[in-house]
Structure 1
Amino acid sequence: MDLVPVILSGGVGSRLWPVSREMHPKPFIQLPDGQNLIQKTFLRACRLPGVSEILTVTNRELFFKTQDEYKAIEGADCAQSFILEPFGRNTAAAIAIGALKLAESHGPEAQMLVLAADHLIQAEDAFADAVAKASQLAADGWLVTFGILPHYPETGFGYIQTRSDTALGHGLKVERFVEKPDLATAEGYLAAGGYYWNSGMFCFRVGTLLEQLGQHAPEVLEAAAAAIERSDISTGKRHRSLNLDPAHFAKVPDISIDYALMERSDRVATVPCDIGWSDIGSWIAMSELTAPDNDGNRLEGEVLTHASTNNFVHSCERLTALVGVQDLVVVDTPDAVLVAHKDHTQDVRHIVKQLKSHGHSAHLLHRTVNRPWGSYTTLEEGDRFKIKRIVVKPKASLSLQMHHHRSEHWIVVSGMARVVNDDRELMLNSNESTFISAGHRHRLENPGVIDLVLIEVQSGDYLGEDDIVRFEDVYGRATS
């Protein structure tokens, strides 16, 4: 029996803005120990007994970034497969497509362990023990959830109510799922016992899951199968990826696995566990990863305080000072600063909604943007000009492309560049440059063994990132 962890990496984490953005979401936020949540999830899954492959379901735009994060992990040597979504479609779609692919590659007896990419689990041995118990239940035909032992009356989580009269070996039969309660109701749950936080993690035998989806959510299963049939598969040295067709993927119902299946089936069990779990759902939860000083302040970066207590500051790029304030959350990034009272950190998502409605790019991108070939940082921009710092990884290449509305001037800072500029090909060393007129086909490549760093000065009537026509691209992004 194969156990295949399936990592769902589709959330944005808008309550962790301005560090979390759509193109740099919550799973990629670096924690105080230097790792991020998706790395921790991958490593934790890879360490489970018998696991040799991990399937990740993520947005197509985050595929290469995810691969880079996995490559940076030491001590994880699992084969990788990916399902690449063109847009978010909720958890039922992701899990159904994952189950169909695992049934095809591993057979119906295989088990899938569904994990969220943006959760923190600090008791890894207890987690492995809970997975072993869940696997036994799944083998017996149960749809298994992981119920987190509640330590306080949390109102931000859904709850699982269990039946104390129906013990299933290492688990309990689920009576019902409960939506996020108010405080008085949550206090009642803790007093009554038999209630657990719904972690959003699952363990299924693939054949059981598909049979239950066919019975309770056939429209999800049929649309998922149709989306797979019309999608493309690509392979690399250590991975396989399924690129979902947008038109057919859009036909899969937008519904969570809880609503589509778990609340309808009578084959649902839970494994109660205490695994040091947190969904890191707000800046308060994030702040708890940093030890407080004598005044209760939790400080990340260069921070000075005077007559200030019980604050959290995340400011890793410049000096921040607090004077005479209490109970604040201050998060500083190069292009945005958040100041919130601790009692209102759940409301940060409303700022993200305003940014979206105003068309402001701060909900989508940081100043530094990762690309398959490296990254770029916007240093300054104004009317008809933009200045970027571009870093190209060794042996990497940008696409052969053209812009209609802008010209570009490239100046090499360090490393060596191979440049295609219209009908010319040239090599540029440090302190050398080339000018690319609007309408010229061009390509930038790093043939060396160290990073290529250059400054790009754009000028023109329109400088948006969508002014690009790709003719050739090693990452499959060429314009059709």
Structure 2
Amino acid sequence: MTTITPILLCGGSGTRLWPLSRKSYPKQFVPLVGEDTLFQASAKRLSGADFSAPMVLTNSDFRFIVTEQLSEAGIDPAAILIEPEGRNTAPAVLAAALWLEKTNPEALMLVAPSDHVVPDAPAFRAAVAAGVPAAQGGDLVTFGIKPAHAETGYGYLELAEDPGDFTARPLKLIRFVEKPDAARAQEMLAAGNYLWNAGIFLFSVKTILAAFAAHAPGLVAPVRAAVDQGKPDLGFLRLDPEAWSTAEDISIDYAVMERSENLSVVPYAAGWSDLGGWDAVWRETSQDTRGVALSGHATAIDCDNTLLRSEDDSLEVVGIGLKNIVTIAMPDAVLVADASRAQDVKDAVAALKKKKAKQATMFPKDHRPWGWFESLVIGERFQVKRIHVHPGAALSLQSHHHRSEHWIVVEGTAKVTVDDEVKLISENQSVYIPLGAIHRMENPGKVPMVLIEVQTGTYLGEDDIIRYEDVYARE
């Protein structure tokens, strides 16, 4: 039986969901709808008897987040390919196909973004199964979503026939349609033979490689070189950066799909969203009878069609008399917007970047392979952090030119190295790290270790780290 290998694309920044989604920690890693993150939900949805272990394409900054979240979901990936830089979806899909050509050349590839919401996973898997015969027969299969409204934020797929009752089966695709204006979107909705383009594809390794050779031959040589010259690194494959940099930055739609004739589309009507804005999150969140959607730390009084979310346990958000308003509160930033302007959040991010506000791109929690930290207080010559270290994890052996540190353990036990001395520090105990001392903290226990770090010095930036030894092979 032909296996289906999920190819999870996991490199986007999701700026339209700022301030919860940012470049350093984008929306796919956040539990926006439900308890799982979008990435975990995607991996679980594309698992089961008909699927082999997934491949993930991501960037270096996210590689340990990917492995941590897959581990939490109980999924062992077949491969994680590290893109040296973002080059859009065509090079990413081609890299996955070239890797599979070596390891499982008869496989079918199911390419999917990792930040979509699909509430009915069994229905989606049934739609995938419906597309398998066409993919085995040499078609490039895409999946079209039944439009719920005249959306201007999506591309569309024009079918050769009316999808009828939206039974999942391959239909002939005439063409891809660019994102329309409002009037054209309304016309296509009324026509009935246009579907939203979900950006999800199913094809065989041989078929997609032939399509690249025919329609985007200039991509093949640099991407093949990037894969062939890639270097294994702690379970990842780092694609060769020099070869990768010469690949064209282009989407798979433009590079291959829009130029191909062997196209089929499977209609899907069981619910889908790419969560492309806070208005989409509002639609996917449980609402009361007045259309108000709340997080656990938000309260609405006499509000209508409003989304209120607090992402901080210590911060309560209260709305009074609001209509069509989105409010998202983070520890370091708050968004208040008219719901009809949800797509303009990216403009706010651009404005913050222009004024060099760190909130534009940096998440309050800085995620590292060993855990995470967050700054609690920052002064001119001091900083206070909370540091969370996973069981069995260790920070690098390091020193600093410009700061000393004082560590106070508040949960668990820390194994601390300071120059030639190694000792265990338990809850309510502390240790001082002098300026220039070579030091490391480790969590030898089976529960998370949390400490408060007080830094003092003339410079407190994260680049003031000299690493001597690092189990995660960071530079």
**TM superposition score normalised by structure 2:** 0.94
Question: Does the residue aligned with 1:38 lie in a helix, a strand or coil?
Answer: helix
Match of 1:112 among 109, 113, 124: 109
Using the alignment, how far apart are the partners of 1:162 and 1:52 within structure 2?
Answer: 31
1:307 Cα offset (Å): 3.3
- Alignment-mate amino acid for residue 228 of structure 1: V
Structure 1: gaps (5+ residues)? none
Instruction: Indicate the residue corresponding to 1:65 in structure 2.
Output: 65
1:283 Cα offset (Å): 0.8
Runs of 4+ in structure 1 deviating by more than 4 angstroms, as ranges, are 76-79
Instruction: Indicate the residue corresponding to 1:387 in structure 2.
Output: 384
Instruction: Indicate the residue corresponding to 1:327 in structure 2.
Output: 324
Using the alignment, how far apart are the partners of 2:299 and 2:429 within structure 1?
Answer: 42
Share of identical aligned residues, percent? 43
Instruction: Indicate the residue corresponding to 2:296 in structure 1.
Output: 301
- Alignment-mate amino acid for residue 253 of structure 1: E
Instruction: Indicate the residue corresponding to 2:93 in structure 1.
Output: 95
Instruction: Indicate the residue corresponding to 1:248 in structure 2.
Output: 243
Indicate yes or no: 2:424 matched with 1:423. no
- Alignment-mate amino acid for residue 226 of structure 1: A
Return the structure number with greater strand share.
Answer: 1
Question: Does the residue aligned with 1:313 lie in a helix, a strand or coil?
Answer: strand
Indicate yes or no: 2:123 matched with 1:126. yes
Point out the more displaced range, 77-86 or 456-465.
77-86
1:46 Cα offset (Å): 0.8
Question: Does the residue aligned with 2:255 lie in a helix, a strand or coil?
Answer: helix
Instruction: Indicate the residue corresponding to 2:181 in structure 1.
Output: 182
1:77 Cα offset (Å): 4.7
Over aligned residues, Cα RMSD in angstroms?
Answer: 2.0
1:267 Cα offset (Å): 1.7
Instruction: Indicate the residue corresponding to 1:164 in structure 2.
Output: 161
1:456 Cα offset (Å): 0.7
Using the alignment, how far apart are the partners of 1:357 and 1:86 within structure 2?
Answer: 25
- Alignment-mate amino acid for residue 129 of structure 1: A
Q: Conserved in 1, the CA contact under 8 Å of 2:143 and 2:199?
A: yes
Aligned length: 469
1:117 Cα offset (Å): 0.3
Using the alignment, how far apart are the partners of 2:300 and 2:419 within structure 1?
Answer: 56
Q: Conserved in 2, the CA contact under 8 Å of 1:46 and 1:78?
A: no
Using the alignment, how far apart are the partners of 2:51 and 2:366 within structure 1?
Answer: 33
1:39 Cα offset (Å): 0.9
1:340 Cα offset (Å): 0.4
Instruction: Indicate the residue corresponding to 2:5 in structure 1.
Output: 4
Instruction: Indicate the residue corresponding to 2:458 in structure 1.
Output: 461
Using the alignment, how far apart are the partners of 1:245 and 1:386 within structure 2?
Answer: 38
Using the alignment, how far apart are the partners of 2:305 and 2:146 within structure 1?
Answer: 27
Question: Does the residue aligned with 1:164 lie in a helix, a strand or coil?
Answer: coil
Indicate yes or no: 2:277 matched with 1:291. no
What does 1:342-353 correspond to in 2, within 5 Å? 342-353=339-350
What does 1:177-326 correspond to in 2, within 5 Å? 177-234=176-233, 240-316=235-311, 317=313, 318-326=315-323
Instruction: Indicate the residue corresponding to 1:83 in structure 2.
Output: 81
- Alignment-mate amino acid for residue 444 of structure 1: M
Q: Conserved in 2, the CA contact under 8 Å of 1:126 and 1:274?
A: no
Q: Conserved in 2, the CA contact under 8 Å of 1:398 and 1:443?
A: yes
- Alignment-mate amino acid for residue 335 of structure 1: D
Q: Conserved in 2, the CA contact under 8 Å of 1:157 and 1:198?
A: yes
Using the alignment, how far apart are the partners of 2:33 and 2:108 within structure 1?
Answer: 33
1:10 Cα offset (Å): 1.3
1:79 Cα offset (Å): 4.2
Match of 1:412 among 385, 404, 409: 409
1:27 Cα offset (Å): 0.7
